[in-house]
C-alpha cells in the first residue's frame, strides 16, 4: 500500500534493512553491529536504578496518563537544563515533552501548512522523511567539504526556495560529528534574518557527546525563531525508553500561539506523548553523569585504528565516527558479508562515507576495523 510522497525517502533505509536481515541470518549472534546507536553494553547501572525507583513508586496515579505537554516537574527539569546549555531563559511552558526526538520533530513540522523544508546534508536519516510525511518537500543543501555550514549555498537556497516552512540543522552534526562554531551560527542567524526569519529546528540529540574541549553552542543563542529538539535516550543510553522534547525559544514570533498549537497537535495526533515512567525518573536521571567517558575512550581507540589504515575520519562530537571509504554501499555490503554492519553515507543523504557507532562493544569495534582493513585492501 503506497504512502504517497514518502516512499522515495525510505528506499536506502529499506535496502539497509534487507541487508541487515541477510547479515543476521548468516552471522547470527556473532554479528558486529556498528549501525544504529544501541548501547550493546547496556545503560549505566545508575540509570537502571533510577528507572527501578520510578517503577517502584506506589502512588495510585504514578503510572497513569500525564498532561499533554508533559508533567510540570519533568518539564521544569528539562527547561532548567536547556536554559543552562543555551543561555536562553527557557521556562517549563516553552518545553513540550515528547516520545523521543522523533515525535518532537514530527510535531514541529506539522505546525505549518505544506511547503518546503531546507535541510543541510548529510543529516540524520529521517529528517527528510518526516518533512515529506507532513506533506513538505524536503530541499537538501550540501554542507561544505569539511561538513561545516556552507553559508553561501544556504543563502542561495533560502533566496530561491518558495513557501519555506523550516530549516533543520543537526547540532552537533550526525553523522558528521561537526560542532558548529560561533562564527558559523552567527552567519546562519544573519542568513535566516535576511530570508524573513523562518523557523530553525535545531536537533541537539547529541549535544552531550562533545570531545576534545570544544564547547557546545546552540543556534538558539543567536536566533530567536529556533525550536530545540532533544532526546534523553542518547544521553542515558536508553534509546527505547522514549523521552525527548521540542522547546520553542521564549522570544520566537507568536511564541504563545505556537505553544498552544504544539500542544493541540500532540493531542490531535494521538502520538508523541512520553511515558509517565520516564517523566517520573527524569529528576533522578539528570543527576547521573552521562556515559561519555566510556564512549570517548572507545571512539579514540577506534579512530586511531582507522587512521592507521590511512582513512580519513571526521568529527569532534557524537558517539559515531564518520569515515571516508569511496563506494559506501559496496563497502557496506562487503562488510555485511563478513558479519559487520555499518551504515552507508547514502542513509544520511550523502555518498562515499560510512558511519560506525561507538556504542557497540570494544570487541565489535575491533572486528569492524579488521573487516574494513580486509575489504579496503
Ligand atoms: C540527530 C537525531 N535526531 C533524532 C533522533 C531520534 O531520537 P529519539 O530516539 O529520541 O526519537 C536521533 C536518533 O538517532 C538522532 O540521531
Which residue, by CA, sits nearest to atom 10 of ligand 1?
Answer: 100
Specify the pLDDT at position 164: 98
Return the pLDDT at 330.
Answer: 98
Cell triple for 288: 547521573
Q: Closest residue (by CA) to atom 14 of ligand 1? A: 37
- Whether residue 233 contacts residue 244, with contact meaning beta carbons closer than 8 Å, is answered with yes
- At 249, the pLDDT band (50, 70, 90 cuts) reads very high
pLDDT digits (tens, 9 = 90+) for 120-138: 999 999 999 999 999 999 9
Query: Using CA positions, which residue lies closest to atom 4 of ligand 1?
Result: 101
Calculate the alpha carbon distances from 77 to 97, 258, 276 in Å.
11, 22, 15
pLDDT of 27 strictly over 80: no
φ, ψ (nearest 5 deg) of residue 291: -85, 35
Per-residue pLDDT, 98: 98
What percent of the chain lies above the pLDDT cut of 90?
91
- pLDDT exceeds cutoff 80 at 60: yes
Q: What is the dihedral of CA 120, 124, 125, 126, to 10 degrees?
A: -90
Which atom from ligand 1 is nearest to the alpha carbon of 231?
Answer: 10
Cα 241 to middle of ligand 1, angstroms: 12
CA of 320 relative to ligand 1 center, distance in Å: 13
Supply the pLDDT for residue 218. 98
CB atoms within 10 A of CB 300: 14
How many angstroms is it from 208 CA to the middle of ligand 1? 13
Q: Is the pLDDT of residue 254 over 80?
A: yes
Q: CA 58, 271, 57 angle in degrees (round to 5)?
A: 10
With cut-offs at 50, 70 and 90, classify the pLDDT of residue 291. Answer: confident
Beta strand 313-314 with 320-324: parallel, antiparallel or unpaired?
antiparallel
Mean residue pLDDT across the chain: 96
Q: Which atom of ligand 1 is nearest to the CA of 239?
A: 9
Give, rounded to a whole angstrom, the gap between the first and last alpha carbons of the chain.
43
Average pLDDT over every residue of 143-160: 97
In angstroms and rounded to an integer, the radius of gyration of the C-alpha atoms of the chain is 20
Q: Measured in angstroms, how far is the CA atom of residue 149 from the centroid of ligand 1?
A: 21
Q: Kindly state the cell numbers that stand for 371.
A: 573487516
Q: Band of the pLDDT at 223, cuts 50, 70, 90?
A: very high
Atom of ligand 1 nearest to the CA of 37: 14
- The pLDDT assigned to 212 comes to 87
Backbone dihedral angles phi then psi of residue 271, each to the nearest 5 degrees? -140, 170
172 upstream amide cis, omega within 30 of 0? yes
Q: Which residues line ligand 1 (CB under 6 A)?
A: 37, 100-102, 124, 170, 174, 203, 205, 231, 233, 239, 244
Q: Which domains does the chain have, with CATH numbers?
A: 7-44+290-376 (3.90.1150.10), 48-285 (3.40.640.10)
Q: For residue 207, what pLDDT is reported? A: 97
Q: Is the pLDDT at 307 greater than 90, yes or no? A: yes
Threshold 0.85, pTM exceeds: yes
| Overall average pLDDT of the 180-205 stretch | 98
Does the pLDDT at position 361 exceed 90?
yes
Helices (H), 57-125: 72-86, 100-109
Ligand 1 centre distance from Cα of residue 197 (Å): 25
Three-state DSSP at 262 gives helix
- Strand 164-170 relative to strand 116-121: parallel, antiparallel, unpaired? parallel
Strands 353-357 and 343-344: antiparallel
pLDDT of residue 161: 97
Q: How many helices (H) and strands (E) does the chain have?
A: 13, 13
Residue 229 or 2, more confident: 229
Does the pLDDT of residue 25 top 80, yes or no?
yes
Q: What is the mean pLDDT of residues 248-254?
A: 98
- Above 80 in pLDDT, residue 2? no
| Residue indicated by cell numbers 553523522 | 175
Q: Are 355 and 345 in contact (CB under 8 A)?
A: yes
Distance CA 370, CA 85 (A): 39
Q: How far is the CA of 205 from the centre of ligand 1 (A)?
A: 6
Please say if the pLDDT value at position 3 is more than 80.
Answer: no
Using one digit for the tens of pLDDT, what is the confidence trace for 339-352?
A: 999 999 999 999 99
Query: Ligand 1: which atom is nearest the Cα of residue 233?
Result: 10
Query: Which residues are CB-neighbours of 105 under 8 A, at least 6 positions away?
Result: 126, 127, 130, 168, 201, 203, 229, 246
Q: Given the CA of residue 174, which atom of ligand 1 is nearest to it? A: 1
Per-residue confidence at 28, pLDDT binned at 50, 70, 90? confident
**CA–CA separation, 200 and 195 (whole Å):** 12
Beta bridge partners of 201: 168, 227
pLDDT of residue 123: 98
Q: How far apart are CA 284 and CA 301, in angstroms?
A: 32
37 alpha carbon – ligand 1 mean position (Å): 9
Q: Give the residue-averaged pLDDT of 211-236.
A: 96
Q: How far is the CA of 348 from the centre of ligand 1 (A)?
A: 13
- Counting from 1 in the atom list of ligand 1, the atom nearest the Cα of 36 is 14
Greatest alpha-carbon span in the chain:
62
**Mean pLDDT along residues 66-94:** 97
Q: From ligand 1's centre to the CA of 377, what distance in Å? A: 34
Amino acid at each position: 500500500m503506497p504512502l504517497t510522497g514518502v516512499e522515495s525517502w525510505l528506499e536506502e533505509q529499506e535496502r539497509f534493512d534487507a541487508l541487515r536481515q541477510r547479515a543476521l541470518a548468516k552471522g547470527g549472534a556473532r554479528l558486529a553491529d556498528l549501525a544504529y546507536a544501541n548501547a550493546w553494553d547496556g545503560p549505566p547501572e545508575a540509570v537502571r536504578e533510577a528507572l527501578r525507583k520510578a517503577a517502584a513508586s506506589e502512588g495510585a496515579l504514578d503510572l497513569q496518563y500525564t498532561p499533554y505537554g508533559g508533567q510540570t516537574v519533568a518539564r521544569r527539569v528539562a527547561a532548567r537544563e536547556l536554559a543552562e546549555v543555551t543561555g536562553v531563559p527557557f521556562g517549563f511552558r516553552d518545553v513540550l515533552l515528547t516520545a523521543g526526538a522523533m515525535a518532537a520533530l514530527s510535531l514541529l513540522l506539522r505546525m505549518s501548512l505544506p511547503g518546503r523544508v531546507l535541510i543541510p546534508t548529510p543529516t540524520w536519516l529521517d529528517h527528510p522523511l518526516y518533512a515529506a510525511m507532513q506533506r513538505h518537500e524536503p530541499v537538501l543543501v550540501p554542507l561544505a567539504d569539511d561538513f561545516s555550514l556552507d553559508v553561501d549555498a544556504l543563502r542561495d537556497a533560502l533566496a530561491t526556495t518558495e513557501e519555506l516552512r523550516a530549516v533543520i540543522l543537526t547540532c552537533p552534526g550526525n553523522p558528521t560529528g561537526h560542532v558548529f562554531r560561533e562564527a558559523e551560527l552567527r552567519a546562519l542567524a544573519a542568513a535566516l534574518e535576511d530570508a524573513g526569519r523562518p523557523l530553525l529546528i535545531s536537533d541537539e540529540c547529541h549535544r552531550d557527546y562533545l570531545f576534545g574541549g570544544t564547547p557546545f553552542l546552540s543556534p538558539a543563542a543567536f536566533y530567536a525563531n529556533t525550536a530545540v529538539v532533544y532526546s534523553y535516550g542518547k544521553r542515558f543510553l536508553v534509546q527505547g525508553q522514549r523521552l525527548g522534547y521540542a522547546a520553542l525559544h521564549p522570544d520566537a514570533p507568536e511564541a504563545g500561539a505556537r505553544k498552544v498549537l504544539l500542544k493541540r497537535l500532540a493531542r490531535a495526533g494521538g502520538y508523541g506523548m512520553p511515558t509517565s515512567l520516564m517523566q517520573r525518573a527524569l529528576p533522578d536521571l539528570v543527576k547521573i553523569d552521562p556515559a561519555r567517558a566510556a564512549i570517548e575512550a572507545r571512539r579514540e581507540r577506534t579512530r586511531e585504528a582507522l587512521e592507521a589504515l590511512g582513512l580519513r575520519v571526521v568529527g569532534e562530537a557524537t558517539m559515531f565516527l564518520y569515515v571516508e571509504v569511496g563506494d559506501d554501499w559496496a563497502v557496506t555490503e562487503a562488510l555485511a558479508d563478513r558479519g559487520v554492519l555499518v551504515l552507508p553515507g547514502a542513509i544520511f543523504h550523502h555518498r562515499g562515507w560510512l558511519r560506525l557507532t561507538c556504542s557497540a562493544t570494544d570487541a565489535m569495534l575491533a572486528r569492524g576495523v579488521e573487516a574494513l582493513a580486509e575489504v579496503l585492501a
